Amino acid sequence: MSFLPFTRPTIGEETIAGVADVLRSGWSTSGPQVNAFEAALSDYFGGRPVRAFNSGTATLEVALRLAGIGPGDEVITTPLTWVATANVILEVGATPVFADIDPATRNIDPARIEAALTPRTKALMPVDLAGLPADRDRLYTIATAHKLRVVEDAAQSLGASWHGKPIGSCGDFVSFSFHANKNLTTGEGGALVLPADVDPAYCERLRLQGVKRAADGGMDVDVLGGKWNLTDIAAAIGLGQLPRLAEFTARRRDLVRAYFEHIDPALGLTLPPRDFENSNLHMFQPLLPPGSDRGAFIAAMKERGIGVGVHYPALHLFSLYRKLGFKDGDFPHAEDVGRRIVTLPLFPAMADGDIDRVCAAIEEVLSH
């Protein structure tokens, strides 16, 4: 039986042909495909301005810079996320402040945000773990009351919604990733939805060396920018993926329903939040029973031809963050979930029978 990875992108033959066309065109860096991809994304987000980047990490860093966040400022985020979320706060010279998760949603707990506020707090960076949107109503109530910017790390939630509207169509800065594991991929890439008070031309300068081109062919550089532009090769993949996003999400929903039906409750797994309305079902992540040896579980599943991922250990316990003073016990809910969480196979091209195969393997492994 072939190996079943925990995720795999679905790239259609038309998309592959589109990429070949770009390669044959002689123009592979940012150009017409990027413009078309940005326009298609903007349409999807109800007309809001969107700029494409070469990673979701770059979009987050640029969003913080556009929001004017820097040394002396505190940004409140979750400790249960991909480390990029907190790394970009350090990258702009600001201070990450963590608020523990709500174990029911695994997203940042709004009540704990209130407790973490200080006069230096400048922004909130919520994350939609596994594609389940963090509570936008409560986040924006806090942000408005305390005059904070919000940089939504929606890297995992493209295709998810809040009150029936797509994530990205409302809010302040909204950042997406198109990494190979995300629900929509460009290989690597990202996109930033801009609020009305940000000039998209300024965002473009931060994206590419701060360069401002003049009509006569000359140029000026008036701000320090990075090297974060998306290629036309990547944008062509995105243009092939975007029209299929709803189909991908629907397929994920069916597969997740099957997981809920087939996992035996007697095995003692804690199942993920059950949301078929707002979430884009980016990952299906049960928690192993308390005290389980996760490494042994992953190895035993691998022996049975099944890939299992870990997304994520609580990031404040990484060495870099321990050096900043964080320690065991600081955020007990994130630590508990971070120790027990496993990502089971979930991607649109999975067959129904794959769910049975995964569930049978889990049963075999856990009942030994």
Asked if 153 touches ligand PLP (CB under 6 A), the answer is yes
Long-range contacts at 18-27 (CB < 8 A, ≥ 24 apart): 18/236, 18/237, 18/239, 18/240, 19/233, 19/236, 19/237, 21/236, 22/232, 22/233, 22/236, 23/233, 25/232, 27/232
Q: For ligand PLP, which residue has the nearest CB?
A: 56
Using rule CB under 6 A, residue 177 touches ligand PLP = yes
| Residue 105 binds ligand PLP, judged by CB under 6 A | no
Q: Does 81 bind ligand PLP (CB under 6 A)?
A: yes
Amino acid symbol at 53: F
Per rule CB under 6 A, is residue 190 in the interface with ligand PLP?
yes
List, by residue number, the catalytic residues.
182
| Residue 56 binding ligand PLP, by CB under 6 A | yes
Other beta carbons within 10 angstroms of residue 67's beta carbon come to 22
Q: Which of 85, 95, 107, 229 binds ligand PLP (CB under 6 A)?
A: 85
Stretch that binds ligand PLP, among 16-24, 148-156, 237-245, 340-348 (CB under 6 A): 148-156
Residue 107 binds ligand PLP, judged by CB under 6 A = no
Rule CB under 6 A: say whether 155 interacts with ligand PLP.
Answer: yes
Interaction of residue 156 with ligand PLP, rule CB under 6 A: yes
For the record, the structure tokens of 188 come out as 């690597």
How far, in Å, CA of 279 to CA of 131, rounded?
Answer: 5
Nearer to ligand PLP, 189 or 240 (CB): 189
Q: Which stretch binds ligand PLP (CB under 6 A): 77-85, 202-210, 302-310, 345-353?
A: 77-85
Q: Binders of ligand PLP: how many residues, by CB under 6 A?
A: 14
Helices (H), the chain: 13-25, 32-44, 56-66, 84-91, 110-116, 136-145, 200-207, 232-241, 245-262, 294-303, 319-322, 332-340, 352-366
User: Which range of residues in 25-33, 79-87, 245-253, 325-333 is near ligand PLP by CB under 6 A?
Assistant: 79-87
- Told to check if 161 binds ligand PLP by CB under 6 A, we report no
Find out whether the peptide bond into 321 is cis, omega within 30 degrees of 0: no
Distance (Å, rounded) from C-alpha 304 to C-alpha 358? 9
Contact 121, 100 (CB under 8 A): no
- The residues of the shown chain that bind ligand PLP, judged by CB under 6 A, are 55-57, 81-82, 84-85, 127, 153, 155-156, 177, 179, 190
